[in-house]
Amino acid sequence: MNIKQTIEGERKEAMRNKEELRLSVLRMLLAAIKNREIEKRTKLSKNPETKNLEKESELNDEEAFGALRSETKKRRDAIVEFEKGGRADLVEKESAELKILEAYLPKEMGDEELEKLVDDTVAGLGSVTIKDFGRVMGEMMKKVKGQASGDRVSAAVKKMLPE
């Protein structure tokens, strides 16, 4: 069972239990996933070699988690802006939505584990300096694949790289 099917099942359960906030968040998330599928289908349709567009345009779990991460980032950004504007009511609403979305995210990598991975990556690349930041980040993002945010990875890499 992939993440999209899990979310659809949870949406049905929220409907039965009349959980309005959870239901609206899950509908919004499914819409975001559907939009990503449509974007993917549009790109695939430009290739005449593509046979089964419907099947090939379905998102795998990694792509669906990308949509989920995007939605959580939107909520975090909105919370910051609403706090600046003094809108406690909207901060509370966005925080509740964020909490629901975060329940579906994969477990984040711990700080020690992330630092060890940076050490291993830097050692694997050989002699690196801060000038090689982009190269190290590229390798790291391939390795963490959604288990840590880009901001956390960036901070860990900057901490490890010599000037």
Q: What is the pLDDT of residues 72-81, one digit of tens each?
A: 999 999 999 9
Specify the amino acid at residue 101.
Answer: L
- Compute CA 144 distance to the chain's CA centroid, rounded to the nearest angstrom: 12
Task: Give the side-chain half-sphere CA count within 13 A for 101.
Answer: 26
Question: Where do you find CATH 1.10.1510.10 in the chain?
Answer: 3-102
- Residues whose CB is less than 8 angstroms from the CB of residue 144 and which lie 6 or more positions away in sequence, other chains included: 109, 114, 117, 153
Quick one: CATH architecture of 3-102? Orthogonal Bundle (1.10)
- Record the pTM: 0.75
Question: Where do you find CATH 1.10.10.410 in the chain?
Answer: 111-160
Q: What is the pLDDT of residues 102-157, one digit of tens each?
A: 998 888 888 888 888 888 888 887 777 778 788 888 888 888 877 777 888 888 88
Specify the amino acid at residue 120.
Answer: D
Q: What is the pLDDT of residues 94-106, one digit of tens each?
A: 999 999 999 988 8
Topology of the domain covering 111-160: Arc Repressor Mutant, subunit A (1.10.10)
More confident residue, 93 or 130: 93
CA 27/CA 17 separation, integer angstroms: 15
CA 109/CA 105 separation, integer angstroms: 12
Q: What stretch of H or E contains 153? A: helix 150-160
DSSP reduced 3-state for 147:
coil
